[in-house]
Structure 1
Amino acid sequence: MHVSALVWIVSILVVLGLFVFDFYSHVRTPHEPSLKESGFWSAVYIGLAALFGLGVWAVSGSTYGGEFFAGFVTEKALSVDNLFVFVIIMAKFAVPRIYQQKVLLIGIVMALVMRAGFIAVGAAAISAYSWVFYIFGAFLLYTAIKLVREASSEEGPVEDEKEREGRVAALFKKIVPTTEQYDGDRLVTRIDGKKVATPLLLALVVIGFTDVLFALDSIPAIYGLTQEPYLVFMANAFALMGLRQLYFLIGGLLDRLVYLSYGLSIVLGFIGVKLVLHALHENTLPFLNGGQHVAVPEISTGLSLAVILGVLVITTVASLIKSKRDDRKALADGDSGSDSGSGTSTREN
């Protein structure tokens, strides 16, 4: 897929323009977005991603179009998992709801800039060394196993995230003077004539650092679906673009997606296997098959997209069913306890 410098420049400017529009139309005036507003703009950004994918399909063919959609769906799913951590960060720093939009939007822009760096490094590594796919594949398999273990434990990844955020916040406070008091939606304020960082800036830094860690598995994952840096960048851009709206839209539903981590672990494990198979097919390591290509089956883009969508749909539906059953059980137990209490009271009388 040939992408000219002009197409790159125009695409980046359009993405930046959308973020600027988002800031001035929604974030500049502090407010807590309604479900209607969040739902509408989430749909708009998903629609823009779909139109872009169809455009790639029409101009460059079904292979690249399919790769974009597979990459976008994967990055979107991983970004939903990120929202769990964002909720924890917002609660830890007690960020008022009306100011959370600003933290999220600036954090997302920072994330995209940092991911662009990862994408460039990944593209250079893949171009120079085909064995990098072995490393990417092994890392994704490790991440998949780690996700399963965290999801199976009672505390899950929450405690690890809190410890990591605490270390980042402590380091930041050592370097930059901070205050515990908010000053509207300002990131920096003055106390006794000295500039100090507000908790809003601290939350922003923690979110930015956290997304660097998220990029360590999301970038290798999407390179397992497409080796085109342009598609990797645009899939990440569109996945992050509607993340702020998604945070407010499904924030209350996050605790109901109990099987999401399992679903993501399956997706990452599947892509990890796909990467290892691709690495074997392109093998140049002298100690494997004499440096010759290994005849192994490769997983098509169509199959990848079908597996990713299937797993995410199944785990989402299963999560909602389990949450509904748990709610009914809790309600029934509550009613049973209430009836038992009433019976005891009657006997005493």
Structure 2
Amino acid sequence: MEFLFADWLGTPAWFWLAFIGLVAGLTAFDLGILHKEDKEMGIGESLKLSLFYISIALLFGAWVWVERGPELGMAYYTGFFIEKALSIDNVFVISLIFTYFAIPAKYQYRALLWGIIAVILLRGAMIGLGAAVVQQYEWVLYIFAAFLVGTGIKMLFAGDKPMDIEHNPVIRFISRKMRVTRELHDQHFFVKVPDSTSGKLVWAATPLFLALVVINLADLVFAVDSVPAIFAITTDTFIVYTSNIMAILGLRALYFALAAMVHRFHYLKYALALVLVFIGSKIFVADFLLGGDKFPPVLSLGVTFGLIGAGVAYSLWKTRGEAEPEWPAKEGADAAKRHLDELSGGKAL
């Protein structure tokens, strides 16, 4: 019993165990009951499942508020909403990846599930490392803050540059060093196929595995923004990790609703840019203008929620009546086929 109340990264162990149990239970329920079979998810089902995950996340925040106080509860909600908004950008990239590799919708959900399991582990490692560095060198927060301000300003003036999957060095390395099939094999990441020279059965990766790898690489890029953003709100490791994971956990459900209309959120990136600038700036404001006093959590959450809400509303209004752009849907599959065909010197099958 003493172990349950032992301090672990600033939080009693039973808090961590409760959260891990919740995540494991939701994942098992999702995969084992709701989606035992691979099938395409409709927009209606996607929205209902998304609402379920959001409700769970909000109730978890209420539990944090009661058990750990309103300040950390407010920090959790702020981090959750920021990560949820940033995940909309992530949806566009995931949609592009699936289109590029010509992954049918009925296999996308399972790939997203394994991708999110990997994200849970990768984010945990990044956040644990970040927490250790911040605890040892608190001035690192100023670097995080300056990075967020710079990233936000860059987002405001950057043009629309699609992710260059075809020339991704990691994918080209995997494709050349591993056997990769040109066709999908249902939901499998690896299959046994005849070797081109000996005829013996050998293991080979499928395009679904390559898609999974690119999705996780993309998340690492997004984590570079989201992890410093939540550290700029709070340095409590439990709040940083749980707010990130609860926002990501429902991403695979939200994906199928947003992927069909992601072009409608084109202008949200400018709101997200302003959020990053605000989150980074408030550290300097608190330390140099407020004499070291903390920036009011209620004001921080209000500004964040207001900017994101305004970005969504303006995007939906500005893009009303616009048709979905043809690319990448028109060119993605051809580019993927061309990429595999070019690997004549490698081991593609």
User: TM-score, structure 1 length as denominator?
Assistant: 0.84
Do the aligned partners of residues 164 and 181 (structure 1) sit closer, same or farther apart at CA in structure 2, a change above 3 Å counting? closer
1:186 matched to 2:194? The reply is no
Which of residues 115, 137, 159 is equivalent to 1:129? Answer: 137
RMSD of aligned Cα (Å): 1.9
* Counterparts of 1:141 and 1:135, CA distance in 2: 10
Do the aligned partners of residues 279 and 17 (structure 1) sit closer, same or farther apart at CA in structure 2, a change above 3 Å counting? farther
1:311 matched to 2:319? The reply is no
Find the counterpart in structure 2 of residue 157 from structure 1.
Answer: 161
Which of residues 243, 257, 264 is equivalent to 2:265? Answer: 257
Find the counterpart in structure 2 of residue 117 from structure 1.
Answer: 125
1:323 matched to 2:319? The reply is yes
- Deviation of 1:40 after TM superposition, in Å, equals 1.3
- Deviation of 1:167 after TM superposition, in Å, equals 2.4
Which of residues 198, 221, 229 is equivalent to 1:221? Answer: 229
Contact 1:71 1:222 in 2 (8 A): yes
Do the aligned partners of residues 313 and 215 (structure 1) sit closer, same or farther apart at CA in structure 2, a change above 3 Å counting? same
1:37 matched to 2:39? The reply is no
1:236 matched to 2:244? The reply is yes
* Counterparts of 2:37 and 2:287, CA distance in 1: 50
Find the counterpart in structure 2 of residue 173 from structure 1.
Answer: 175
- Deviation of 1:309 after TM superposition, in Å, equals 0.6
Contact 2:10 2:237 in 1 (8 A): no
| Cα-to-partner distance string for 1:201-252 (whole Å, 9 max, x where unaligned) | 1100110111111111100001111211111111111101110111101212
| Cα-to-partner distance string for 1:98-120 (whole Å, 9 max, x where unaligned) | 10001111111111110001110
Do the aligned partners of residues 270 and 249 (structure 1) sit closer, same or farther apart at CA in structure 2, a change above 3 Å counting? same
Contact 1:186 1:198 in 2 (8 A): yes
- Deviation of 1:93 after TM superposition, in Å, equals 0.4
Which of residues 294, 297, 300 is equivalent to 2:296? Answer: 300
Find the counterpart in structure 1 of residue 341 from structure 2.
Answer: none
Higher relative contact order by CA 8 Å / sep ≥ 6: 1 or 2? 2
1:60 matched to 2:50? The reply is no
Aligned AA (1:300): P
Contact 1:136 1:275 in 2 (8 A): no
Do the aligned partners of residues 279 and 15 (structure 1) sit closer, same or farther apart at CA in structure 2, a change above 3 Å counting? farther
- Deviation of 1:26 after TM superposition, in Å, equals 3.4
Partner SS state of residue 10, structure 1: helix
Partner SS state of residue 162, structure 1: coil
* Counterparts of 2:95 and 2:77, CA distance in 1: 27
Partner SS state of residue 244, structure 2: helix
Partner SS state of residue 168, structure 2: helix
Partner SS state of residue 164, structure 2: helix
Do the aligned partners of residues 251 and 163 (structure 1) sit closer, same or farther apart at CA in structure 2, a change above 3 Å counting? closer
Q: Percent identity?
A: 35
Contact 2:80 2:243 in 1 (8 A): yes
Contact 2:148 2:225 in 1 (8 A): yes
- Deviation of 1:17 after TM superposition, in Å, equals 2.2
* Counterparts of 1:130 and 1:42, CA distance in 2: 37
Contact 1:277 1:297 in 2 (8 A): no
Contact 1:277 1:298 in 2 (8 A): no
- Deviation of 1:164 after TM superposition, in Å, equals 7.6
Aligned AA (2:28): V
Note the residue ranges of structure 2 that are not aligned, 5 or more in a row. Answer: 1-8, 195-200, 324-349
Aligned AA (1:322): K
Contact 1:131 1:279 in 2 (8 A): no
Q: Which structure: larger Rg?
A: 1
* Counterparts of 1:297 and 1:7, CA distance in 2: 28
Contact 2:232 2:279 in 1 (8 A): yes
- Deviation of 1:279 after TM superposition, in Å, equals 5.8
Do the aligned partners of residues 88 and 117 (structure 1) sit closer, same or farther apart at CA in structure 2, a change above 3 Å counting? same
- Deviation of 1:126 after TM superposition, in Å, equals 1.1
| Cα-to-partner distance string for 1:32-73 (whole Å, 9 max, x where unaligned) | 112222111111110011111111112222111111111100
Note the residue ranges of structure 1 that are not aligned, 5 or more in a row. Answer: 282-293, 328-349
As a proportion of its length, which structure holds more helix?
1
